[in-house]
Structure 1
Amino acid sequence: MTLYFMDGQFTEREELRVSIDDRGYYFGDGVYEVIKVYGGELYTAEQHIARLFQSALKVKMTIPYTEEQLVEIARELTMRNEISVGHVYIQVTRGAAPRTHQFPAATVAPVVTAYAIQNPRPAASIENGVAVKSVEDIRWLRCDIKSLNLLGNVLAKQEAHEAGCIEALLHRDGVVTEGSSSNLFGIKNGTIYTHPANNLILNGITRQVVLGLCQELAVPVEEKPFTLKESFDMDELFLTSTTSEIMPITSIDGRLIGSGTPGKLTRHLQKVFALQIPSSNVGE
């Protein structure tokens, strides 16, 4: 039996009822987060929930719980569903109201839903690396908000999928931004490059973890854009996300990056990352 959370209640999926007037359904008017679970423990939950509140603030939405309460809800879902390795999904919409573009009255309550599922680590891709496809970044200009408006991301991911690739490498007028569901890093002559955390990318939590590791390891980092052309000449490339961790990129559009195998610095970052995961039981 899988338990879900909706508006203050833990309940079975079959008992959930979402209104057709929910603004998440009509407009994608909502925000969300995904929290990784390792060995039954939440990983960087506080950072994810803090970002959820930041996203809500940017779209003028009120979340009817404290950050601490949402972390506890995520923890409870993990425990009740006996998740060892997986993730928790939390979503907040502006509520259910007749369809009009302007915000509903303040009396309309936001709708909070969440669930936890078992989801194994993508071990083969982490070990062997993945192919990506370059795709023009057609999304809106507030990618720093983790909103439900993901159609641009979906179209890019599908284009990559149809080309036999794991991820899309997004670029605006030839300048690399991020992946459709990940952040991107390039390595050249021992220096790591990644797009600055502005309105054009989501400042990923795993991205922040990696930048912290680089600081601890004294690895030079430049948060500055690089071009699609420059990406082909990188010594190494990798992507990061909550579910992908640190994943090497071995080719773009069929062109090999470096030797076409995961690079030395990427491997080192993977090892250090694995050491600070809450549990050693992460092999699932």
Structure 2
Amino acid sequence: MIEFDDTADLGVLHTRRGRLDLALAHHAGSAAIAGGLGDHRLRAIALGGVGEVLHLQGRPAEAVERLTEALSLLDGDAESIAPLNTLALAYRDLGHLDDALRTARAAVGRAAGAATLTTLATILLRLGDPGTALAHATDAQRLATAAHERIEASLTLTAIHTSLAQYDRAHPHARQALTLSEPGYRLLHGNAMTALATLHHCAGRPAEAHLHATRALQIHQETGHLPGEAQTHLILAHTAPGEFRAFHLRAAFTLFAQLGANFRA
């Protein structure tokens, strides 16, 4: 039991610090330990961690498999909220938006907290309903207590305001996410840099977009966050000096092709 707790805790720590390969190894190890103990609840918790990391790595089809297995073992108890929430995100990234919305609403129905409301907001934004998304993201920011919840809510508010061309409203949220994520949340820090790059690019400020995208790219490459890496290459394909734009466009195309294969895995 102590071995499980130690391994699971390391999985969570490495996830937050953006060491995704190590996080995946520790969560998979936790699942194996729990399986050896015959403890279905602990195995489900570990599989939820595996699913979260697979989603962050841009492998949503595999994430859905692990998360679905985790939920089948938890049978609707309180510990099912986190894997249910991640399952909604994985469905979103697969483009299964009806499934994503249904799953996100189920998660909110069990616990209308910062994490579940943020996820619901991102799906509503993808569905073209920024107004309702904004209401949920604002509630999420109000309810958020943990640093990672505040960061995720701020990033979602940034995305919503950017989509509405409300760049002056988006910028403070992006800066808050950047500041909160700096002390230890490496992957989220890369996402905050990417959000700022996207904001500046959409606002017609290519120099600022290039600066933040360059910094974001380095972080995404360190963490193995392929969706973020692909997105920043795409921004750099529009904002880098002319002789480098083709390189970034090819890199973005290659990564999006790889992600597409992951989605169909």
- Structure with the larger strand share: 1
Please give the TM-score of this superposition, normalised by the length of structure 2. Answer: 0.31
Please give the TM-score of this superposition, normalised by the length of structure 1. Answer: 0.29
- Structure with the larger helix share: 2
Ranked by relative contact order (alpha carbons within 8 Å, sequence separation 6 or more), the top structure is 1
